[in-house]
Amino acid sequence: MLVPAPDVPLPTAAAIERAKRELDRRLGPSKVAVAADTCALYALDESDVAGRMPDVVVLAESTADVAIALEVADACDVPITPRAAGTGRTGGAVPVAGGIVLATHKLTRVKDIDRRDLLAVVEPGVVTGELQALCEKEGLFYPPDPNSLDSCMLGGNIAENAGGPRAFKYGVTSAYVLGLEACLVGGRVLRTGKRTVKGVTGYDVTSLLVGSEGTLAVFTEATLRLLRAPQEVATVLALFDDVHACAKGVSAVIDAGLVPRCLELLDAATLDAVRAQGVAVDARAHAMLLVEIDGDAEAIHPALERLGNALAECAGVVDIVVAQDEAQRSRLWAARKVLSRATRKLAKHKLSEDVVVPRSRVPELLLRTDRIGDETGVRHLAYGHAGDGNLHVNFLWDDDSERAAVDRAIELLMRATIDLGGTLSGEHGIGVTKQQFLPLEQSAELIDLQRDLKRVFDPKELLNPGKIFPNRSHRAC
Site residues (vs ligand MLT, CB under 6 A): 89, 147, 339-340, 352, 354, 384, 392, 427
Q: What is the spatial distance between Cα 269 and Cα 287, in angstroms, rounded to a whole number?
A: 9
The CB-of-90 to ligand MLT minimum distance in angstroms stands at 10
Task: Please identify, using beta-carbon distances, which residue of 340 and 423 lies nearer to ligand MLT.
Answer: 340
Residue 319 burial (C-beta neighbours within 10 Å; 0-12, 13-18, 19+):
middle
Residue 443 neighbours by CB under 8 Å, 6+ apart: none
Q: What is the spatial distance between Cα 58 and Cα 100, in angstroms, rounded to a whole number?
A: 7
The CB-of-347 to ligand MLT minimum distance in angstroms stands at 15
Long-range Cβ contacts of 363-367 (<8 Å, 24+ apart): 363/244, 363/247, 363/248, 364/420, 365/389, 365/391, 365/416, 365/417, 365/420, 365/422, 366/243, 366/244, 366/247, 366/267, 366/391, 367/244
Task: Please identify, using beta-carbon distances, which residue of 352 and 435 lies nearer to ligand MLT.
Answer: 352
The CB-of-446 to ligand MLT minimum distance in angstroms stands at 26
The CB-of-463 to ligand MLT minimum distance in angstroms stands at 25
The CB-of-155 to ligand MLT minimum distance in angstroms stands at 18
Task: Please identify, using beta-carbon distances, which residue of 58 and 413 lies nearer to ligand MLT.
Answer: 413
DSSP conformation class of 52: P
Task: Please identify, using beta-carbon distances, which residue of 126 and 262 lies nearer to ligand MLT.
Answer: 262
The CB-of-274 to ligand MLT minimum distance in angstroms stands at 12
Residue 86 φ then ψ, to 5°: 75, 30
CB 127 within 8 A of CB 107: no
The CB-of-338 to ligand MLT minimum distance in angstroms stands at 9
The CB-of-339 to ligand MLT minimum distance in angstroms stands at 5
Task: Please identify, using beta-carbon distances, which residue of 213 and 427 lies nearer to ligand MLT.
Answer: 427
Q: Which of 20, 167, 11 is nearest to 95 (CA)?
A: 11
Q: Are strands 100-103 and 56-59 parallel, antiparallel or unpaired?
A: parallel
Task: Please identify, using beta-carbon distances, which residue of 361 and 392 lies nearer to ligand MLT.
Answer: 392
Q: Which of 119, 147, 148 is nearest to 134 (CA)?
A: 119
CB 124 within 8 A of CB 139: no
Task: Please identify, using beta-carbon distances, which residue of 235 and 352 lies nearer to ligand MLT.
Answer: 352
Q: How many helices (H) and strands (E) does the chain have?
A: 16, 19
Task: Please identify, using beta-carbon distances, which residue of 147 and 376 lies nearer to ligand MLT.
Answer: 147
Task: Please identify, using beta-carbon distances, which residue of 354 and 458 lies nearer to ligand MLT.
Answer: 354
The CB-of-291 to ligand MLT minimum distance in angstroms stands at 16
- The CA-based angle 93-95-97, given to 5 degrees, is 150
Q: How many CB atoms lie within 10 A of CB 2?
A: 12
Q: What is the spatial distance between Cα 102 and Cα 457, in angstroms, rounded to a whole number?
A: 17
The CB-of-145 to ligand MLT minimum distance in angstroms stands at 10
Task: Please identify, using beta-carbon distances, which residue of 66 and 339 lies nearer to ligand MLT.
Answer: 339
Strand-pair partners of 192: 180
